[in-house]
Amino acid sequence: MATPLKAWAQRFAFVLLIGAAFGLMMLTKADTLVVERARVAVNDAVAPILDAVAEPVSTVNHVIQGARGVARLQQTNTNLRAEIERLSHWQQVAREVEAENASLRALLNFTPEPGKRFVAARVIGDQGSAFTRAVLVNAGSADGVAKGQAAVSGDGLVGRVAEVGHRSARILLITDINSRIPVVVGPRRDRAVLAGDNSLEGSLLYLASDTTVRVGDQVTTSGQGGVLPVGLSVGVVSAIDEKGVRVRSMVDWAHLEFLRIVDYEMPGLLAPLRDPGAAADSR
Amino acid sequence: MKPSAWHRLDEAARAVSPFAVTVLLALFSVIPQRAPDIAPVMPALVLIAVYFWSVFRPDLMPFWAIFLVGVVQDLLTGIPLGAGIVPLLLVHGYIGTQRRFFASATMPMLWIVFALVAAVALALTWVLSCLVLGALVDPTNAALQYLTTIAAYPCVAWLFAQAQMAFLSEQAPRVGGGR
């Protein structure tokens, strides 16, 4: 049976640990770097386990989807044929525009875009909760991933690298409440900032009042700040109401499996200048 | 007779099993299921585990173990660090004060009490998260998570009860017993 001393020790431990928990909350609010390091360490530690588990889970999902796909093969085929017809026209248009663009750039002596490098990574953890939208991927600083880089899927921008460990990285999705992405909207390329709010749609902040944004306008990254590449597809304007301009992403959030991390090599603009030798070694 | 080294190792493994299972559940909740929209309403499995072991084997689930589980959970799931720990500690503390009631409670009663405890705990997580994030997070998902957690409780508790009978039954203390 518990002696009074033991009961007292229990009570003391309880109060102490509650205090510690509140302390951690203060720490999160005041100094995010320490918390970030801890998060990276834990993520790095569990990355191999999650990596091992993620594979069978996705295999099972593939089998189920494969079975569904077979059932609808005929229909899909017809749809795809129609799609090819439609897109080949667009391809023609794109080729013409590309050629025109190249010749105009040559005419203007336009500064070439910095090089891009891609790192493909598997999604090994889904950190979505009632409070955050983030995923873990199995590539880290060992693979050349660095904080701030863009993560894209085939459908457009997914998020950006928030924390990097040695072999894992945490991608803050564009739908997270803390996500802010500089974007341009519509044919007039109005500048704005896309802010997530943990729902499937984000809203545009700092949009100038005289702009004429309409539902269906394309939203792409503006490249302001020099961290994200220019022109990554982000989504389309889905609604304009008293809550503001809503943007829906084309990304299939339920089936994120592989992401490409875009290393947008723009040395010295934002990141502190690194020793080029060390940078070469780390790749 | 002195217990052999193997026997002591076995004892130790059994003693840490509630803690280990709880940490595994924290891991489980971040595995990508790729089922649409399940992640935001993933049941709070760690909360269920802490409740269950605090009721049945508080000696194997002390405050510090709960604190550790809470840290791992918060760091893994990405919710503000600390916001998930405080409710877990409070749940354990509350059960400690009502030991006599829990000692005689039946499974349906435990479920009903869990529904109340989880409501307070998840609401507290929500309030603390909002405070730390400095923004009003949409409570819909938190409410849905509460419902899935309540629904998941009987399943998880049943599994735990089986595990307890299989691995921990030969050790003396039952509900309410101290060492």
Each residue's pLDDT tens digit, A79-130: 899 999 888 888 888 888 888 888 888 777 766 666 677 888 888 888 777 7
pLDDT (mean) for A242-269: 79
pLDDT for the residue B49: 92
Of B81, B92, B141, which has the smallest distance from its Cβ to A25's Cβ? B81
User: CB contact, 8 Å: B24 with chain A?
Assistant: no
Q: Provide the 10 A C-beta neighbour count for residue A274.
A: 13
Tell me the Ramachandran region of residue A259: left when phi exceeds 0, alpha when psi lies from -120 to 50, beta otherwise: beta
pLDDT tier for residue B106 given thresholds of 50, 70 and 90: confident
**Cα distances (Å, whole numbers) of residue B137 to A197, B105, B132:** 8, 36, 11
Please report the residues numbered 129 through 158 in chain B whose beta carbons come closer than 8 angstroms to any beta carbon of chain A.
129, 131-133, 135, 137-138, 141-142, 145
Contacts of A40 (CB under 8 A, 6+ apart): A163, A164, A165, A168, A170
Q: How many CB atoms lie within 10 A of CB A237?
A: 20
Nearest to B34 among A29, A42, A254 (CB): A254
Per-residue pLDDT at A148: 86
Query: ipTM higher than 0.90?
Result: no
Q: What is the pLDDT of residue B119?
A: 94
Average pLDDT over residues A206-231: 83
Which of B38, B47, B25 has the alpha carbon at shortest distance from B118?
B47
User: Between the CA of residue A121 and those of A20, A133, A169, A171, what are the distances in Å?
Assistant: 36, 18, 9, 11
The CA distances from residue A176 to A84, A202, B73, B167, in Å, are 35, 9, 19, 42
In this prediction, residues B103-111 reach a mean pLDDT of 87
Q: Is the pLDDT of residue B153 over 60?
A: yes
Count the neighbouring beta carbons within 10 Å of the beta carbon of residue A3.
9
pLDDT computed for residue B170 by the predictor: 54
Which band of pLDDT confidence, cut at 50, 70 and 90, is reported for residue B111?
Answer: very high
pLDDT band of B154, cuts 50, 70, 90: very high
Chain B (29-58) residues lying within 8 Å, Cβ to Cβ, of chain A: 30-37, 39-42
Cβ count near B74 (within 10 Å): 30
For residue A268, what pLDDT is reported?
A: 46
Q: Are B102 and B121 in contact (CB under 8 A)?
A: no
Q: Do B64 and A1 touch (CB under 8 A)?
A: no
- Say yes or no for a CB contact (<8 Å) between A54 and B81: no
**pLDDT classification of B174: cutoffs 50, 70, 90:** very low
pLDDT confidence bin for B175, thresholds 50/70/90: very low
Rounded Cα–Cα distance for residues A204 and A234 (Å):
12
pLDDT recorded at residue A272 = 47
Determine whether the interchain pair B40/A128 forms a contact, defined as Cβ–Cβ distance below 8 Å.
yes
**pLDDT of res. B32:** 67
On the question of pLDDT at B113 being above 90, the answer is yes
Residue A281: pLDDT over 50: no
Give the pLDDT mean for B164-175: 62
Query: Which tokens hold the place of A199?
Result: 């729902």
Closest CA to B166 of B4, B17, B8: B17
pLDDT at B39: 63
Task: Return the residue matching tokens 């435990």.
Answer: B110
CA neighbor of B81 nearest in space, from B70, B93, B91: B70
Percent of chain B residues past pLDDT 90, beyond the cut = 25
In Å, how far is A173's CA from the nearest CA of chain B?
12
Scanning B101-120 for CB atoms below 8 A from A yields: none
Residue A206: CB atoms within 10 A of its CB come to 10
Chain-centre distance for alpha carbon A156: 9
> For testing the chain A interface, which of B37, B73, B75, B144 should be mutated: the one with the most A CBs within 10 Å?
B75
Shortest Cα–Cα distance, A43 to chain B (Å): 7
Distance CA A179, CA A194 (A): 8
Nearest by CB to residue A131, choosing from B64, B96, B137, is: B137
Residue B85: which residues within 8 A CB-CB, separation 6 or more? Answer: A17, A21, A24, B66, B67, B70, B71, B73, B74
Name the band, by pLDDT with cuts 50, 70 and 90, for residue B33: low
pLDDT, chain B, mean? 83
Half-sphere exposure of A251 (CA within 13 A, CB side): 25
Q: In the predicted model, what is the mean pLDDT of chain A?
A: 82
Interface A:B, Cβ pairs < 8 A: 148
Q: Is the pTM of this model over 0.90?
A: no
